[in-house]
Amino acid sequence: MNVWLTQHALALKLVLRRFANNKLSTLLICLAIGVTLALPSIFYAVLDSANVLANNVKSKSQMSVFLATNHDENAIETVKTTLEDDANIKSFKFVSKEDALSQLQAADTDNGVLNSLENNPLPDAFFVEPSKLDAESIENLKNNLSKLDGVDEVVVDGAWIKRLNYLLALGKKTMLIIVSLLAFALVAVIGNTVRMQIVTQYAEVELSRLIGATKSFIRRPFLYAGALYGLIGGLFALLITVAVIYLFNQSLAPLVAEYQTNFSLNYPNLFTCAITCLLALAVGLISAYLAVSKSLFSSIH
Amino acid sequence: MITFDNVTKRYPGSHEALTNVSFSIEQGEMVYVTGHSGAGKSTLLKLMAAIERPTSGTVLINNQNVSKLKESTLPFIRRKFGLVFQDHKLLYDRNCYHNVALPLAINGITGAEAGKRIRAALDKVGLLSKEKAMPITLSGGEQQRLAIARAVVSRPSILIADEPTGNLDRNYAEDILQLFNAFQQVGVTVIIATHDALGNVSDHNKILHLNRAQLTKAEIIA
């Protein structure tokens, strides 16, 4: 156990010394890996933020049923029971005209305009969330609801959300494809770097074999090198991502202010950071392993 | 300690490097392997050190049959040997101290214990003051002695040297041979390959003389 630990510490120290001896090239390689990883990472941040936005909107109703202002007393109850019985409706909320007015007054900034009204011009309304979100069901539901007594107008306000969802799904697929393609690029970059190191360290590798080093002893520093390249590259990627998001958000702020929301790109959370670094480390390790098993022992018996 | 029985070694696409070689070496012996270049001396040493396996015949090292051992156990057999290579195989990217440290690292010895042993080995070959020097700055004789320090640092019971005095002038060569004699005195089995005439071979040495892949003489000079 102790020997095992020393051997690992030794390999790590050796790799760090090699890195320190070749600071510039190490930095460049790690930057290359960082940039490669930053692309999907930024893409993910955009998707993630858009997803949060879409989910927020989704939780709001997608269909508004406005009753006529002059409906009779029972209309509200009838519509309510109909909505309760309809299997196509996931949930609904009733907002009376009085509630609507007071909400509007609360949100109103130009005091007095609403107070000056003699009558409440707002209708009673139901906000309905359909259980099925495809175009046909929503259209059917809309028609059915319009025919009810006392219903003035049915407004579908969720069509664009559907499109957003489709776009998000497309975006996720694109990201997966980009990630897998870039993973190949990473394997090539790290694999080649490690192969170069093997060539540079050939004298040491050969000597170690001759004087009784096990294969794993020889392999270990190269695996550490690959894993470290990945890990440092992953950290660079996070730095780049955070910087890009910061710049984006600065330019995004005035734009979204126009829409009166406070949408901004989310910074990667701890989990995302950990996953990014772990993935980078794993890719580094795997590429190093491939490179090592391909070229390390081929010429030594 | 080392026993060869009818050992033949043939490299792919080449003639036999060794043909039906049989001998045995006991603990604490001083053995010279002699013969012309290409007679098979290096091959013989490689077979002894479990770097190569015989094509046929058996090589026993401490009663273990090298041919029957698994590939993964060979490194542990090799650690019993201290090897001095014909071309030194020093690592020029690190100083003397770290060159000598490598075999210890392979054996999992590091830190203060390693430092003690490395300095002891360097001291034995007279290079203690050059601990921090890079091998490239050393003279031929010093490089050879550094290679010897590296070979003995893990206290092997068998020391194998391939042409250790090959490129050295007479005085240096004497020094090196003295060094090997000193190791033999403390019980280390020393095996030296040389193409030199045996002018400086002293008494009580076993000589394995190779001629065209065959052992022609294996006797103790009285």
- Residues A145-176 have pLDDT tens digits of 888 877 888 887 766 666 777 888 888 898 88
The SS3 of residue A80 is helix
Q: Nearest chain A Cα to B78, which residue?
A: A212
Do the Cβ atoms of B103 and A214 come within 8 Å? no
B147 versus A60: which is more confidently predicted? B147
Q: Is the pTM of this model over 0.80?
A: no
Residues of A in contact with B76 (CB under 8 A): 212, 214
pLDDT band at B209 (very low <50, low <70, confident <90, very high): confident
> For residue A266, with 0-12 CB atoms within 10 Å meaning exposed, 13-18 middle and 19 or more buried, which class applies?
middle
Do the Cβ atoms of A10 and B110 come within 8 Å? yes
* Closest residue by Cα to residue A66 from A9, A21, A123: A123
User: Which residue has tokens 């054996």?
Assistant: B107
Residues of A in contact with B77 (CB under 8 A): 212
Write down the pLDDT at residue B135. Answer: 94
Q: Is the pLDDT of residue A60 over 60?
A: no
Q: Is the pLDDT of residue A52 over 60?
A: yes
Residue ranges of A 154-213 with Cβ closer than 8 A to chain B: 203-204, 206-213
Write down the pLDDT at residue A301. Answer: 44
Residue to mutate among B73, B93, B98, B106, with most A CBs inside 10 A, is B106
The CA distance from B188 to B27, in Å, is 7
- In 10 A of CB A25, how many CB atoms? 12
Write down the pLDDT at residue B71. Answer: 85
Q: Nearest chain A Cα to B159, which residue?
A: A211
Average pLDDT of chain B, as a whole number? 86
Q: Which of A126-135, A136-145, A252-261, B34-43 has the highest mean pLDDT?
A: B34-43
Residues of A in contact with B83 (CB under 8 A): 210-211
Residue to mutate among A18, A207, A208, A218, with most B CBs inside 10 A, is A207
Segment (H or E) for A121: none
User: Which residue has tokens 């890996």?
Assistant: A33
Q: How many helices (H) and strands (E) does chain A have?
A: 9, 4
Query: Among partner residues A6, A210, A301, which is closest to B108 by beta-carbon distance?
Result: A6
